[in-house]
Structure 1
Amino acid sequence: MADGTIYDVIIVGGSYAGLSAAMTLGRSLKNTLVIDSGKPCNAQTPHSQNFLTQDGNTPKRISLLAKNQVEKYGTVKFQKDFAVDGKKAPYGFEIKTESEKTFGGKKLILATGVRDMMPNIKGFSECWGISVIHCPYCHGYEHRDQKTGIMANGHTAVHIAPLVHNLTKDLTILTSGKAEFTDEQRAKFEQYNISIIESKIVEIDHLNGFVKNVVFQDNTKMGFDTIYARPPFEQHSNIPTLLGCKLDEQGYIRVDDFQKTTIEGVFACGDNTTAFRSVANAVYQGNVAGAKVNMELTHEMF
């Protein structure tokens, strides 16, 4: 049973998507609870770019500013905790937290994000988000004209290589194993002087998170300033699957154009739904989710 208040909406996750949804719901006078552990996946990233009005600010500063603005809406409450379980209830849904509190809500928004799974490469995790980066739109401009590696193979490498080549011409593809490219793809790389190295990577030599060298299994090394990588991920929370939300073939929560999942009353927004991971996109999706939830609640009460 829920402890006390049954909220109109519970938002699990209080980063950009969750806060954006909370602002929309607060402005619509909906009693909303945001449950967040305060441990965002981009905590190590020094700066956030490509988001209007906040370009170059730290992720923490953007989040704090957003939370301060959302807190001005009296119907939005915050609970610093980690949501560990979720289930359906007669009135909607119940969320249980790590501190063994149970909260009830009519609707549920999952802004739970994803967890990047670091490869077994020494130094990789220390550089992740600093000089080992995932997105040319989020970080590429700051790393333009640098000696750059793309740690990828096959389709992923083919997809990202032109985007990175647009920013730097000193580019090498690091497949860390047998390269999986067609003759046509190899010819294209050769045309643009993009070399391919198949040697297995065992270490990222760095200084305080800034790449110096990539070290290979045969003890040779090559100097780099920046590495692009797309490590595998998993859903940061198991609540979506506990509730029965379907995932797509890539592991993202399936949603429609209004961020509705396959379970009635459950919405999802942010990195847990899309490969396009950016602050701007998370804020957009949260805004859409909040508006759709408000519309459903309002129509149900009208």
Structure 2
Amino acid sequence: MPHASIPRHRACTQPTTEYDVVIIGAGSAGLSAALTLGRCLRRVLVCAGGPPRNAPSPAVQSFFTRDGVKPAELLRLGHEQLRPYDTVEVRVAQVTQIVAEGNFFELEAEGESGRTFTTTARKVLLATGVEDELPPVPGMRDLWGRGVLHCPYCHGWEVRNQALAVYGRGKIVTGLALLISRWTTDVVVCTDGPGNLSANARRRLRQQKVRIYEEPVSHLEGKPNGELRHIVFENGEKLARHALFVHPHQHQRSSLAEQLGCRLTSKGAVWINKQAQTSVGGVYAAGDTTPGPQKALLAAAEGTQAAIAIHETLTREECPK
């Protein structure tokens, strides 16, 4: 059965561009946005970059109907379910520059073959994600995603009732340790030197029977499967733990938001309003790129919300009063 022609209700004041929307990033947020926009008959280009942030993790947890699916499989399904929408194109490409040209954008990108191409779009959605800056403790990166974890909502069930540790200092480590104590009664805080913990923080941890180790950490010892075996301190002591939680600093995976002049929060996230629009008109953002909790399911929801906002904005532009 032939595809129905795509209706075009475009006022003469609208620019003629190759795409209505270019989505940069093909994780949960980007693919979810592409799906919604495809169903709105929008011409969309998805620029897929490198592997997702959760690639080292054995599974995506707490994702409705997909609990326990491997990260790569979740994305494979996302790509597969875009195929019926012939107005959506997915390309492996790294966008290197975005230039605002009045009421549209010109984008330059490097394709899979290394060749550069340019394209134009009326709106841009940044779904580029973030990168975690793990503490420089030997073994931390090697065990990331299995023995070293970041989110109790993603991994708490899998390590419940085990001997766990939380790495960090100050308010952040206190809050995370108290949260982890809901999954197990055996929690220790490792501050890797002076913990900068207030008297109140120490009291709260003590109430939950959370022990505090302020001895500097030498390295982490893991098992062949990537799980944690021991935290090794500089004094030679070894502490057996099943997993260690850490809340690492992060930075934007892409510099495009900064290049465009988008406002960033004090923590380096891309600021957005309730319609998922950044401080730069026509540029939207969704997923881990933006402030708030970071989970694949939430990123997918934010991608959908951004897509709806973009479609409705485009419609208002096409149907002026």
TM-score of the aligned structures, taking structure 2 as reference length: 0.90
State whether residues 92 and 106 of structure 1, in contact with CA within 8 Å, keep that contact through their aligned partners in structure 2. yes
> Which residues of structure 1 form unaligned runs of 5+?
none
State whether residues 149 and 174 of structure 1, in contact with CA within 8 Å, keep that contact through their aligned partners in structure 2. yes
Q: Counterpart of 2:318?
A: 301
**In the alignment, structure 1 residue 178 sits paired with structure 2 residue 194:** yes
State whether residues 189 and 195 of structure 1, in contact with CA within 8 Å, keep that contact through their aligned partners in structure 2. yes
TM superposition shift of 1:82: 1.6
Supply the AA of the counterpart residue of 2:176: I
Match of 1:75 among 65, 70, 87: 87
Match of 2:77 among 65, 70, 74: 65
Matching of residues 72-151 of structure 1 within 5 Å:
72-98=84-110, 99=114, 100-151=116-167
TM superposition shift of 1:147: 0.5
3-state DSSP of counterpart to 2:219: strand
Q: Counterpart of 2:173?
A: 157
TM superposition shift of 1:123: 1.1
Match of 1:212 among 229, 241, 250: 229
Q: Count residues with an aligned counterpart.
A: 299
Q: Counterpart of 1:265?
A: 282
Supply the AA of the counterpart residue of 1:32: V
CA deviation map 1:27-55 (0-9, x unaligned): 00000000012411111110111111000
Q: Whose Rg is larger?
A: 2
Match of 1:196 among 191, 195, 212: 212
State whether residues 35 and 81 of structure 1, in contact with CA within 8 Å, keep that contact through their aligned partners in structure 2. yes
3-state DSSP of counterpart to 1:42: coil
Match of 2:64 among 39, 48, 52: 52
Q: 1:90 to 1:191 in 2, by over 3 A?
A: closer
Moved more, 274-283 or 291-300: 274-283
Rounded to whole Å, the distance in 1 between the matches of 2:235 and 2:75 is 44
State whether residues 87 and 242 of structure 1, in contact with CA within 8 Å, keep that contact through their aligned partners in structure 2. no
Rounded to whole Å, the distance in 2 between the matches of 1:23 and 1:153 is 41
Supply the AA of the counterpart residue of 1:181: L
Moved more, 106-115 or 68-77: 68-77
3-state DSSP of counterpart to 1:124: coil
Moved more, 182-191 or 141-150: 182-191
Rounded to whole Å, the distance in 2 between the matches of 1:240 and 1:188 is 40
Q: Counterpart of 1:13?
A: 25
Rounded to whole Å, the distance in 2 between the matches of 1:155 and 1:249 is 17
TM superposition shift of 1:209: 1.6
Rounded to whole Å, the distance in 1 between the matches of 2:307 and 2:49 is 20
Rounded to whole Å, the distance in 2 between the matches of 1:59 and 1:95 is 29
Match of 2:39 among 16, 27, 37: 27
Moved more, 245-254 or 36-45: 36-45
TM superposition shift of 1:95: 2.1
3-state DSSP of counterpart to 1:298: helix
Q: Counterpart of 1:292?
A: 309
CA RMSD of aligned residues (A): 1.4
State whether residues 165 and 188 of structure 2, in contact with CA within 8 Å, keep that contact through their aligned partners in structure 1. yes
TM superposition shift of 1:168: 0.5
State whether residues 275 and 306 of structure 2, in contact with CA within 8 Å, keep that contact through their aligned partners in structure 1. yes
State whether residues 147 and 227 of structure 2, in contact with CA within 8 Å, keep that contact through their aligned partners in structure 1. yes
Moved more, 37-46 or 283-292: 37-46
Supply the AA of the counterpart residue of 2:32: S
Rounded to whole Å, the distance in 1 between the matches of 2:292 and 2:230 is 28
Moved more, 96-105 or 163-172: 96-105
Rounded to whole Å, the distance in 2 between the matches of 1:131 and 1:94 is 43
Rounded to whole Å, the distance in 1 between the matches of 2:50 and 2:194 is 41
Supply the AA of the counterpart residue of 2:235: D
CA deviation map 1:197-232 (0-9, x unaligned): 111223111123210011122232211101000111
